[in-house]
């Protein structure tokens, strides 16, 4: 038979013994551990930066123009 | 939910989990087991345990937020219970309801089926562990 009173007592005692520092450190360790578990074993490799240069040899640009007739005299709406 | 051995109550939840989470490997296996639940905190079917569970979560979470200004995650609050409050010495595990949504439900916007999970803290409560099925994704 599960003793709920003992379970509650153990939580209350654990919380009562915590300080801001101890709790923060424990939480951050948990997050670090979870991140390591997600990423798996390994290490980060520093990669050399790469860059790409685009060079334009001509100034000509292809464009399309669409035109439509627009009347100059607008009628006022009634 | 922290460290432990996790089981679904219904096979369909294992199928959905495998289908969504094992696309990279292309296949997954489902194992079945019989779990001794005498010393389990049953937050699904036992009303007293359920109310107790909510009270402890809210008490601990409020305390952690007040002290650290950090909202704990689901795994952190449960790992705290297991590790810092030493629940692993007092109970064999926890039965709980996972996120309620499931694609097999037949009524719109009604999560009528509980997606029940059990985390076992100890191997001694797991019996008849055996391969049940293998599926391709």
- Considering only CB atoms, A6 lies closest to which of B70, B76, B90, namely B90
Chain B residues touching residue A20 (CB < 8 angstroms): 67-68
**Length of chain B as a residue count:** 137
CB contact under 8 A, B40 and A2: yes
Quote ipTM for the complex. Answer: 0.86
Across the interface, whether the CB atoms of A27 and B87 are under 8 A apart is answered no
Closest CB to A27 among B59, B63, B72: B72
Q: What is the pLDDT of residue A74?
A: 63
Q: Determine how many CB atoms are found less than 10 A away from the CB of residue A70.
A: 6
Q: Which residues of A touch B56 (CB under 8 A)?
A: 7-8, 11
pLDDT of amino acid A29: 92
- Contacts of residue A2 in chain B, CB cutoff 8 Å? 39-41, 49, 90-91
Rounded to an integer, the average pLDDT of A19-24 is 94
Contacts of A13 in chain B (CB under 8 A): 85
Instruction: For A33-68, write each residue's pLDDT tens digit.
Output: 877 776 776 777 777 777 777 776 766 666 666 677
Q: Distance of CA A41 to CAs A35, A36, A37, B13, Å? A: 11, 7, 8, 29
CB B23, CB B137: distance < 8 Å: yes
B76-111 b/e with 16+ CB inside 10 Å = b? bbbbbbbebbebbebbbbbbbebeeebeeeeeeeee
Flag residues of chain B having pLDDT under 70.
none
How high is the pLDDT of residue B122?
A: 92
Contact A10 B90 (CB under 8 A): yes
Cα angle vertex B68, ends B3, B78, to 5°? 20
**Cross-strand bridge partners of residue B40:** B93
Total domains, chain A: 1
Q: Is residue A65 part of a domain?
A: no
| A&B contacts, CB < 8 Å | 62
Q: How many Å apart are CA B17 and CA B24, to the nearest integer?
A: 13
Cβ partners under 8 Å of residue B20, min gap 6: none
Structural domain that includes position A32: 4-39
pLDDT band at A75 (very low <50, low <70, confident <90, very high): low
> What are the backbone angles phi and psi of residue B99, rounded to the nearest 5°?
-50, 135
Helix (H, G, I), strand (E, B) or coil at B32: strand
At B22-62, the pLDDT tens digits run 888 889 999 999 999 999 999 999 999 999 999 999 999 99
B59, two tokens: 């008490």
């Amino acid at each position: 038979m599960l003793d709920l009173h003992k379970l509650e007592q153990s939580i209350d005692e654990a919380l009562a013994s915590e300080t801001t520092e101890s709790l923060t450190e424990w939480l951050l360790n948990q997050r670090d551990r979870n991140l390591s578990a997600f990423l798996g074993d390994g290490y980060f490799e520093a990669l050399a930066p790469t860059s790409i240069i685009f060079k334009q040899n001509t100034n000509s640009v292809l464009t399309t123009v669409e035109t439509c007739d627009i009347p100059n005299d607008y009628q006022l709406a009634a | 939910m922290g460290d432990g051995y996790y089981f679904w109550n219904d096979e369909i939840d294992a199928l959905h989990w495998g289908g969504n989470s094992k696309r990279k490997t292309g296949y997954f296996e489902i194992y079945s087991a019989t779990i001794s639940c005498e010393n389990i905190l049953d937050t699904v079917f036992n009303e007293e345990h359920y109310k107790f569970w909510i009270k402890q979560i809210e008490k601990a979470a409020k305390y952690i937020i007040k002290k650290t200004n950090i909202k704990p995650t689901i795994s952190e609050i449960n790992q705290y219970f297991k590790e810092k409050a030493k629940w692993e010495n007092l109970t064999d595990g926890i039965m709980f309801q996972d996120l309620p949504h499931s694609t097999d439900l037949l009524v719109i916007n009604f999560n009528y089926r509980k997606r029940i999970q059990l985390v076992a803290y100890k191997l001694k409560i797991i019996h008849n562990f055996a391969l049940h099925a293998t599926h391709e994704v």
